[in-house]
């Protein structure tokens, strides 16, 4: 199964506290978003991808257009509203891979695995969660959490969703991958997260 992908890059990134738009923050020599785009382009199960931008991220939008990446410009009314707007604009009614622009360790191989697990799970939503303690032990921030089967987890932001269900109302049946793998553990929300993630990646890549 091949699915389209959406990279969410239209937020303010206010937690970073820096003038640079978060997707363009340098990470080991290239912008955060470029790491994510590289992973998406290396994923065998991704058919195409769009970058979701807004008026919050004009430089990010310019950066993406210069690289020939497809853009979906939204109204910057929050993550879920922007996602719905993007899905409607692109008329995506089947499974969609979604992810933030701040997971620089993500790989095409990991994304392929998530898509494959969605295909067999029988649900309309597949989320990737990280144990909260795994991030805390590394000194990483906990910015967004969600409950799954009675336990709270850190949200990685990587999901596969049924586009038709996103546009509808009511509860969506959810499946989840719970993992502390580096690919999704290193979600960058603060400047401290950025520093810690770079050090971990340096060691992993022997830079």
The predicted model gives 187-197 an average pLDDT of 93
pLDDT tens-place string over residues 133-160: 999 999 999 989 999 999 999 999 999 9
State which residues form the domain around 29: 3-205
Cα distance between residue 102 and residue 83, in whole Å: 16
> Beta-carbon neighbour count of residue 4 at 10 Å?
19
Query: Which pTM was predicted?
Result: 0.92
- What pLDDT is attached to residue 164? 86
- Split at pLDDT 50, 70, 90, the class of 16 is low
With a pLDDT cut of 70, the percent of the chain lying above it is 93
Q: Which residue has the tokens 């697990």?
A: 117
Q: Write the DSSP string, 143-160.
A: --EEEETTEEEEEEEEEE
At residue 207, the pLDDT reads: 47
Q: How far apart are CA 20 and CA 190, in angstroms?
A: 12
CATH number at residue 41: 3.90.550.10
pLDDT at 70 (0 to 100):
96
Closest to 184 (Cα-Cα) out of 206, 204, 157:
157
Q: What own/partner pairs with CB < 8 Å and gap ≥ 24 does 165-169 have?
A: 165/124, 165/125, 166/83, 166/84, 166/87, 166/96, 167/84, 167/87, 167/88
Query: How many domains are contained in the chain?
Result: 1
């Amino acid at each position: 199964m091949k699915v389209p992908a959406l990279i969410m890059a239209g937020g303010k990134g206010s937690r970073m506290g820096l003038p640079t738009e978060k997707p363009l923050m340098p990470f080991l020599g290239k912008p955060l978003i470029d790491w994510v785009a590289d992973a998406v382009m290396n994923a065998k199960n991704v058919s195409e991808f769009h970058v979701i931008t807004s008026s919050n991220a004009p430089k990010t939008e310019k950066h993406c257009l210069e690289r020939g990446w497809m853009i979906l410009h939204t109204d910057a009314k929050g993550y879920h509203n922007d996602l719905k707007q993007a899905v409607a604009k692109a008329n995506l009614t089947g499974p969609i891979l979604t992810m933030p622009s701040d997971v620089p360790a993500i790989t095409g191989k990991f994304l392929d695995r998530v898509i494959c697990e969605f295909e067999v799970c029988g649900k309309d939503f597949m989320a990737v969660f990280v144990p909260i303690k795994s991030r805390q032990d590394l000194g990483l921030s906990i910015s967004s959490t969600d409950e799954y089967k009675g336990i709270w987890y850190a949200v990685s932001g990587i999901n596969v969703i049924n586009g038709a269900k996103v546009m509808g109302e009511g509860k969506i049946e959810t499946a989840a991958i719970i993992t502390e793998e580096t690919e999704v553990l290193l979600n960058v929300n603060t400047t401290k997260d950025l520093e810690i993630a770079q050090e971990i990646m340096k060691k992993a890549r022997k830079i």
